[in-house]
Amino acid sequence: MLQLLCVTHSGRGEIDTHALLAALPTDEDLRRLEGPLLSPAFQEQTALGAAIRLKELVDASRVLVQDGLNRVHGLTPIRPQIDRLLAGLIAWQAGKVDWCDLLTSALISGPTGCGKTMLARAFAAQACVPLVSTSYAECQKAGHLGQMLAALDTVVSEAIAKAPCVFFIDEIDSFADRMIQHRNSEYQRQVVNAMLVHLTRLAQVPGVIVLAATNHPEHVDPALRRAGRLDLHLRMRYPDRAGISAILRDALGPSAPDFGAAADLLIGVSGATAAGVARAALGIARQHARPVATDDLIDAAQEIVPAMSPGLLKRMAVHEAGHLLAAFQLFPTPPTSASIGPSGGTMELPIQPAITETDLRAAMIVRLAGWAAELATFGDASIGAGGTEQSDLALATRIAIDAVTRHALFGSDLLWTPVAPEHHLTMPKHLRLRVTDLLNAANAAARQLVADHPQAIETIAQALIEHRELDAGQIADLRARILDSARGAQNFEAMRESSGMMATRDCAKHPKF
């Protein structure tokens, strides 16, 4: 910086080095400033003025840097791993640990708009290191295969040259599984192979943290996802009510109005959508030349996310109540959160390893219990159980297909014959019948469970309507009210056993079992 100031602010190439050293930020602070931020400083008339301006810019950016990760909402489940990655990088920079002893990479997955890119930027800012980013599409636009691979090599080489830094690759699911055959399989294989080489190369460079983002982790080639290339899998989620409130507060400033009602309307939406609502509210207030009011937020929320009718809210609550009741009865540990909102209902479960046939039956029943609760309460069902690859029916179907084609369970042939999702419709008839029998048996068990506990469905649904969002403590209290400690243990074992017997009896009707 001193040499640069000699060129830009001294006709004779001489400056007062001691005065400038006293005025300039530290080397570490200067590294935090990216190119565009240097321009205002160099517009000063004197070298000393430029140094003072640089110090002001550093001080202004430090506030955002220190609070960077706290401004990314929805990190609660993965924040410990993020903090460990950050602490490891800082410890290595301080010479306290060898790079080979650290986890240095992660796959970040989550729905659209949950903040994956924002997390990568915040991580780099808080670590005070450069961010080097790219994507499959960014490299592909360079041209044909050779040019694309050259573009990928260039950006990886840039990250290595800038170490310590964060290398971020977005939409890594575009580097899809090489085992899936399609028209461009050979092209895809070469691109994925190149990415494998580059991830191995980056892993060997001290100081490079690799973060990769995707909405669909199941589509990423397994070799890319393995430890050593992407060590951790961090699953982000949409922000809860507290996170949405924080996003609104960040966008509207400390003098923001009460946003509790608006936050209730936005439960279940992405952080990007919540930020868009805040900008819309600012626009409404600007149009009327006044500060933002609570009504502005509510109006903006209803423009972007239309309010649900009482009937739809009730149906959504009953649907989620069915899932919760089945989870209470069939899983050893209760869900950790549940919510209903404009984008649908959600229920988050701790990892439940499905090892036995009984475990798999329980998982299918829990998936189908929302549909069963709607039928029992309203006499008909909505489309809420189906739709996307992550819908209740899709996930239950995947469990059943894997059980009979990958694991040879439920009396199926002792043969490993996995079926990719795109081939579900072309499965042999006998496999389709086995899967259908399993799903019908799980549905029958779910409907019986719901029919036996109508008051429990109503209690859970009313709690969801009242709070819109239930945390782990509220869910534990609900579970205790519905299943007391003694009878709950009996119900858990009895329901698992009875659901398994029901499934076995139904499956036995088909000669293939």
Question: Under a CB-based contact definition with an 8 Å cutoff, are residues 159 and 208 in contact?
Answer: yes
> From CA 297, how far away is CA 353, in angstroms rounded?
42
Average the pLDDT over 39-51 and give the result. 84
Query: Where residue 486 falls among pLDDT bands split at 50, 70, 90?
Result: very low
Q: What is the dihedral of CA 99, 100, 104, 107, to 10 degrees?
A: 170
User: What is the number of residues in the chain?
Assistant: 513
Give yes or no for residue 501 having a pLDDT over 60.
no
Give yes or no for residue 232 having a pLDDT over 50.
yes
Helices 47-66 & 116-127, crossing angle to 10 degrees?
Answer: 130
> From CA 164, how far away is CA 119, in angstroms rounded?
18
The single residue listed with the structure tokens 């949405």 is 244
Taking the whole predicted model, whether its pTM rises above 0.75 is answered as: no
Q: Compute the mean pLDDT over every residue in the chain, rounded to the nearest whole number.
A: 85
Nearest one of 270, 274, 343 to 116, comparing CA atoms: 270
234, containing H or E segment: strand 232-235
Query: Where residue 62 falls among pLDDT bands split at 50, 70, 90?
Result: low
Dump pLDDT digits (tens) for 314-326: 999 999 999 999 9
Q: What separation in angstroms does the CA of 298 have from each of 245, 262, 274, 301, 424?
A: 13, 5, 12, 5, 44
Nearest one of 377, 357, 396 to 316, comparing CA atoms: 377
Q: Lowest mean pLDDT: which of 102-111, 121-130, 257-266? A: 257-266
Count of CB atoms situated within 10 Å of the CB of 146: 10
Average the pLDDT over 84-111 and give the result. 93
Q: Which domains does the chain have, with CATH numbers?
A: 2-66 (no CATH), 69-235 (3.40.50.300), 241-304 (1.10.8), 310-508 (1.20.58.760)
Average the pLDDT over 128-148 and give the result. 90
Query: Where residue 254 falls among pLDDT bands split at 50, 70, 90?
Result: low
Q: Give residues with Cβ within 8 angstroms of 354, minimum separation 6.
A: 360, 362, 363, 399
Dump pLDDT digits (tens) for 330-356: 999 999 999 998 878 889 888 777 789
Question: Under a CB-based contact definition with an 8 Å cutoff, are residues 447 and 372 in contact?
Answer: yes
Is the pLDDT higher at 393 or at 241? 393
Dump pLDDT digits (tens) for 162-208: 999 999 999 998 887 776 666 677 788 888 899 999 999 999 999 99
Count of CB atoms situated within 10 Å of the CB of 255: 7
Q: Give residues with Cβ within 8 angstroms of 374, minimum separation 6.
A: 315, 318, 319, 322, 380, 381, 382, 384, 385
> From CA 461, how far away is CA 340, in angstroms rounded?
10
Give yes or no for residue 502 having a pLDDT over 60.
no
Question: Under a CB-based contact definition with an 8 Å cutoff, are residues 266 and 340 in contact?
Answer: no
Query: Where residue 445 falls among pLDDT bands split at 50, 70, 90?
Result: very high
Catalytically annotated residue among 320, 357, 374, 469: 320
Count of CB atoms situated within 10 Å of the CB of 357: 18
Catalytic residue check, 374: no
